[in-house]
Amino acid sequence: MPDTIKLEIISPSGLVYQDDVRHVQAPGEMGYFGVLNGHTPMISALDVGRITADRDGGRDLFATSGGVAEVHADSVIILAETAERRSQIDVDRAEAAKQRAEQRLHSHDPTVDFERASTALMRAFNRIRVARGV
Amino acid sequence: MPSLKQIKRRIGSVNNTKQITRAMKMVSAAKLRRAQDSMMAARPYSDRLRALIRDLAARTDRGLHPLLAEREPRRVCVVVVTSDRGLAGSFNLNINRRAHKVVREMERQAEEVKLIAIGRKGYDYFRKRGYEFIQHHIGLSRDFTFSNVLSIGEAIRNRYVETHDEDTGLDRVYLIYNEFKNVVTQEVITEQLFPIVPELKTEEQYPVDYVYEPSEPQVLDSILPRYANVMLWHVLLESFAAEHAARMNAMENATNNAADLIESLTLQYNKARQAAITKEILEVVAGAEGLE
């Protein structure tokens, strides 16, 4: 049995990533889960978080704002609403988005959509974390 | 007959216009290509989501999910998708006329018809005719990205889902937009956005028995809004592509018309010049004759 698994990350702007990897880790709604070759077929909703792909030559990291993962025995397809490779994350923009969201949450303006602001904060925070590799 | 100088000035100004229309045509061609590329790129994502929804909708009770449940269409919302800018031939006029007709028809059937505008031209058209909008999204064409479309999708969905118990709620949401058929034709399409209608095909797309994490309804919960987002993204890309195809054609025609006009003005200029020369010769000859 081969010990790699085919990983595809697809977003609405196209194919983000495609490679044979040893191990995939993705942010499920109930917490992070790992996938190796031979996994039971599974469909999992994904939360905001980090996708990790371990290849022979190294590790690729992505920040995602959620989506769904289709797991088969020999392949994983991640349909991510957004997926940004670690090296392509614009930290300054994420910082700005984080500050904006924090400001909105701290203001006592009744027109602020609390839920929207807090998901925006979560996304921005996630991108910063992935970019910094914490 | 206008003087030589006047004709020459006119030729110059028509020529300037022609250069502008030609440049606009080229810009539109580039934007059209970009929109077409994005449409192609979004296809794998939306196809897979659609297949998943089809699979899940067959397994779960559709009536339980707010984005799938059919309600009696008492309060209907029409989302009019136009461009922000004009100079695109009959692009916006076609949409607005059709939307107006649809709205009037719906007003007869439903208790309430509400409007959402995406694009300035539709907003202006209906505002001028005394309609009110519950939302308007203008300026998207300046920064046409998926994340901007996401926030529009979210705003429409919140309006549909979160307030469906109150008087302000909506039972059905339609999109009216221009579909990009090919470079020369656009077609006005009316499509239902909410509730989402899963295409239930009989062909076995997913023969595998999956484990759903955390659960089937929760996976559906996560997929449906994303599907609506990508559907809206697709519709807006169609409209964006159609807009630029329409503008490209309009500018192509304008460029050709300018070329025709320049040709006839040049002819007129040459005739006038020739007439002036002939007149001068006649005067010289007449003068010479007078000396004899």
What is the CATH code for A5-86? 2.60.15.10
State residue B166's pLDDT score.
58
Q: What is the pLDDT of residues B35-49, one digit of tens each?
A: 899 888 988 898 888
Nearest residue in chain A measured CA to CA from B224: A67
CA atoms within 13 A on the CB side of B6: 5
- The CATH class that applies to domain B22-250 reads alpha beta
Residue pLDDT tens, chain B, 292 long: 678 899 999 999 999 999 999 999 999 999 999 989 988 898 889 888 888 887 777 777 767 788 888 888 888 999 999 999 888 888 999 999 999 999 999 989 888 888 999 999 999 999 999 898 988 999 888 888 888 888 889 888 888 886 555 566 788 999 999 999 888 888 999 989 988 887 766 555 555 678 888 888 888 888 888 889 989 999 999 999 999 999 999 999 999 999 999 999 999 999 999 999 999 999 999 999 888 7
State residue B51's pLDDT score.
82
Which residues of B lie closer than 8 Å to A, measured between beta carbons? 38, 41-42, 44-46, 48-49, 52, 146-147, 150, 154, 158, 208-214, 218-219, 221-223, 226, 229-230, 233
State residue B206's pLDDT score.
52
Cross-chain residue pair A13–B42, CB shorter than 8 Å: yes
State residue A10's pLDDT score.
95
State residue B57's pLDDT score.
77
Domain range annotation of chain A: 5-86, 90-131
State residue A109's pLDDT score.
77
The pTM assigned to this predicted structure is 0.83
State residue B168's pLDDT score.
67
State residue B205's pLDDT score.
53
State residue B53's pLDDT score.
82
Q: Which residues of B touch A28 (CB under 8 A)?
A: 213-214
Q: What is the pLDDT of residues A60-111, one digit of tens each?
A: 999 999 999 999 999 999 999 999 998 888 888 888 989 988 888 888 777 7
Among B220, B222, B237, pick the best mutation site for testing chain A contact (most A Cβ within 10 A): B222
User: Does the structure's ipTM exceed the value 0.85?
Assistant: no
Q: Which residues of B touch A79 (CB under 8 A)?
A: 45, 48-49, 226
Q: How far is A42 from chain B (nearest CA, A)?
A: 4
Q: Which residues of A touch B229 (CB under 8 A)?
A: 12, 81
Cross-chain residue pair B210–A42, CB shorter than 8 Å: yes
Alpha carbons A17 and A13: distance in angstroms, whole number? 12
Cross-chain residue pair A30–B213, CB shorter than 8 Å: yes
Q: What is the pLDDT of residues B203-232, one digit of tens each?
A: 555 556 788 888 888 888 888 888 899 899
Q: The domain at A90-131 falls in which architecture? A: Up-down Bundle (1.20)
Of B146, B154, B214, the CB nearest to A30: B214
State residue B121's pLDDT score.
94
Domain range annotation of chain B: 22-250
Cross-chain residue pair A77–B147, CB shorter than 8 Å: no
| Positive or negative: CA dihedral A72, B208, A79, B213 | negative
